[in-house]
Amino acid sequence: MAYLSLEIPPGVVKAGSQVESNGRWRDANLMRWHGGRMRPIGGWYAETNALVGAPRSLVTWSTNAGYAQMVLGTNSRIYNWTGGTGIAEIGDSLTGGGTLGAVEMVTSGSTLTCAAGGLDTLLDPDVRFKITGGQNNGNVYTVAAVASEYSLTIDEEFEVDETASITLTYLWKTGAVQGRSNTGWGAGVWNPTATVVTTVTSTTNFTPGISTPMTGDTTTSGEYTTSEGDLELRADLTLGGAYFIPVPVQMNIPAGGVYSLFNVSAASGSFSHKGFRIADSTHNDADYNALYVMSDTTLIVDSKIDDTSWAGFTAESASISTSSLTNGWGRDQSAASILHNCGRWHFNTYGEDLLGVFEQDGRLIYWDASGGTYPLNGALVSNAPTGNKGVLSTQERMVMLYGAGGNTRKIQWSDQEDYSTWAVSATGEAGSFELQTTGDLQIALKVRDSIIAITDEDAHEITYVGQPFIYGRRRLSDTAGIVGPGAVAVIEFAAYWMGPGGFFRYDGGYCDPIPCDVLDYVFTDISTRIDRTKFSQVAAGENRKYGEVWWFYATEAGDGENDKYIAYNYTQKWWTVGTLSRLSWDENNPWGSPFATGSDYKLYRMEQQRTSDADRLEGVTDPGSDYGTNTRTMAFGGASTSDTMTVYAETGDIRVADGSKRIHAQQVITDSETGDTEGFQMRFYSSETPDSTETNQGSVALTSTGYSDVRFSGRYIRYRVEAPFDQDFRVGEMMLKAQTGGDR
């Protein structure tokens, strides 16, 4: 009777088949290898309640007085956290934006009207704005849609309905919760036929507006509304000469169903153009263009796809069924944006102060830590370029903007020690250049004594050279692009990032690809196979204590949010994978623990270790697959074997020699620390050939003696170690007492 070693090298290898992963770990979840032993990753707990919007940006630092600071940016808000349960919203205190007013405006429900006009020049959809004056004084709202220069709607309702002289101040433009690309030819599957998603039935009355041409040279504007029954179609029409110009129309369906019809949610309902069809009415099978989903009961629609106006409508009362049309060849997409990346802030510290650029807004914002109202003193830097991608402060104390001025290849920097001076002069150091690249800049960050600027196709190094050029640059690689601005982490003077087809490392000299044992698995799993905007959601994070870099990404099988991770140990060169939803990560901070934000939009303190040998606390229930948003306090036993075995690692096929011999197993000799035996177990599988049906031999209970009896045989075996979500354990080398022989 021989002893077969079950010692498996650290890391997951998912390349090829089970046989090609012979003697290696094939899959894992929430597992790492550290100090020569396998163990679960640490626990976590929520520090805050849910924030408003998806928090994809997280920055930490200390002020000169030693006060710890954290700023989190979501697609629609900015928050400051300094510890404890309190968190302050700071984005609505920005100053320096454009204003409109003070003129008389009317707020009613979710609609704001201004007879003097000008709303379209200041407020676009998704813009945050503040009201000064009237009973809504000081309130901040987000624009849902601008119907015309005289009218807009917000994504909620005004606190007070009133008519007053008020001023609107443009704060900043918000962005999408998730990346999306379901508009336009080439962005999705082409299919010009109608596909019924749901049916919304109501008694309707379509308002024809003005069906008789007007004469004369004067221009008349007005709102024409007819409301009968349960569905109202309202049009703001601009009339002039012998024709009228079509403008957006608001369709109200009180019974609801708009979200399910267009396959969107309340958090991400907006899109640019999507065809739909009205049937079972006078206008049977007519196609229309949906501009914007305002709510589950309200839709903004423009003119008929196959016509130029709503003039052909006649008033009617009918039951309608609405069918979704997949965008395809011939659909009106003239105003559509093909790709919508998720809303993301780019933060960088400037000494104890903070700089920020929101991608979808593009303006530079500065928070002064020495200001009396800090951190509520954020202000726009009026002289800085606009339309920027992100911001960086250099070691030479210049503020550098990438994607500057709306040019996706441009790098521009301010004068030294002066973030408000951007004009080039003979005595100053402000300047700019364009990278020679076919890619679009995604991120620029400091690594050692240099700056690395990475596009979606290549990577460039920027170094300070002094007068007259100030900064020089060289291309590092033609192929080391990055999938998105959040997909890079800097650790130990090196940057690690996920590219469109691989992983890369830069340490101040050269850019090198990183061999990856799970590459094919990740890029098959990731949802960018059908929607490349999901790359904009990828979040990287450092974990110095364990020598790891993590990347969180959205899978094709998920709900669109980041739901899985891949991790690389840069000291031992192994990879692992698993399921955990995190949107952002920061480890090098004044608190000494990694922080991350979850898909529930809460801030989590990560990698919390067990503080004693205590069993699981009473009252803790098995969260199943939803463990990512549950508090995970690590315990040493006390779990039930009926719990979901969330934490696991399993091997590829193990065979003796060339696989011609059978393995007849009798006993497992374990080397583990597990608390009691209910918190950890093993499971064996056997088969006769790699393609034959596999037999699950059931779980193996560990004993305090280190001997666990088993009875199974097969030419190919593999095993799995598993535990409930909150169990702490250590696993070293194990052995299988077995006999090898022929078929019997």
Q: Are residues 134 and 201 in the same domain?
A: no
Q: Are residues 207 and 152 in the same domain?
A: no
Q: Are residues 735 and 700 in the same domain?
A: yes
pLDDT in tens, 54-91: 999 999 999 999 999 999 999 999 999 999 878 999 99
The single residue listed with the structure tokens 């958090």 is 267
Residue 179 lies in a domain: no
Residue 640 lies in a domain: yes
Q: What is the pLDDT of residue 300?
A: 66
pLDDT in tens, 528-541: 665 678 899 999 99
Distance CA 265, CA 294 (A): 11
Q: Give the whole-number percent of the chain exceeding pLDDT 70.
A: 77
pTM for this model (two decimals): 0.82
Question: Is pLDDT at 676 greater than 90 in this prediction?
Answer: no
Q: What is the CATH number of the domain that holds 162?
A: 2.40.30
Residue 365 lies in a domain: no
- pLDDT band of residue 286 (cuts 50, 70, 90) is low
Residue 137 lies in a domain: yes
Q: Are residues 135 and 165 in the same domain?
A: yes
Q: Are residues 124 and 160 in the same domain?
A: yes
Which of 325, 340, 369 delimits the end of a domain? 325
Which of 270, 292, 325 delimits the end of a domain? 325
Q: Are residues 35 and 119 in the same domain?
A: no
Q: Mean pLDDT lowest for which of 181-195, 219-233, 474-488, 570-584?
A: 219-233
Question: Is pLDDT at 329 greater than 50 in this prediction?
Answer: no
Q: Are residues 198 and 321 in the same domain?
A: yes
Q: What is the pLDDT of residue 660?
A: 75
Which of 325, 345, 371 delimits the end of a domain? 325
Domain containing 687 equals 2-42+631-741
Name which residue leads in pLDDT, 170 or 740. Answer: 170
Residue 87 lies in a domain: no
Question: Is pLDDT at 342 greater than 80 in this prediction?
Answer: yes
Name the strands in the sheet holding 441-447, side by side, starting at the edge strand that comes first in the sequence. Answer: 441-447, 450-455, 459-466, 470-477
Q: What is the pLDDT of residue 320?
A: 34
Distance CA 274, CA 180 (A): 13
Q: Are residues 29 and 96 in the same domain?
A: no
Nearest in space to 170 (alpha carbons), one of 143, 133, 137: 143
**DSSP letters along 692-705, please?**
SPPEEEEEEE--TT
Residue 725 lies in a domain: yes
Residue 544 lies in a domain: no
- pLDDT band of residue 268 (cuts 50, 70, 90) is very low
Distance CA 598, CA 604 (A): 7
Question: Is pLDDT at 597 greater than 60 in this prediction?
Answer: yes
Q: Are residues 210 and 298 in the same domain?
A: yes
Q: Are residues 292 and 215 in the same domain?
A: yes
Distance CA 733, CA 658 (A): 23
Q: What is the pLDDT of residue 452?
A: 97
Residue 546 backbone dihedrals phi, psi, to 5 degrees: -110, 5
Q: What is the CATH number of the domain that holds 710?
A: 2.60.120
- pLDDT band of residue 45 (cuts 50, 70, 90) is very high
Q: Are residues 119 and 164 in the same domain?
A: yes
Nearest in space to 391 (alpha carbons), one of 597, 339, 380: 380
Residue 341 lies in a domain: no
Distance CA 682, CA 382 (A): 63
Mean per-residue pLDDT for 335-343? 66
Beta-carbon contacts of 205 under 8 Å, excluding residues fewer than 6 positions away, are 226, 227, 228, 229, 231, 232, 233, 315, 316, 317
Structurally, the chain folds into a number of domains equal to 3
Nearest in space to 154 (alpha carbons), one of 118, 117, 120, 125: 125
**DSSP letters along 664-725, please?**
EEEEEE--EE-SSGGG-EEEEEEESSTTSPPEEEEEEE--TTSEEEEEEEESEEEEEEEE-T
Q: Is the peptide bond between 375 and the residue preceding it cis, with omega within 30 degrees of 0?
A: yes
Mean per-residue pLDDT for 653-677? 85
Q: Are residues 204 and 248 in the same domain?
A: yes
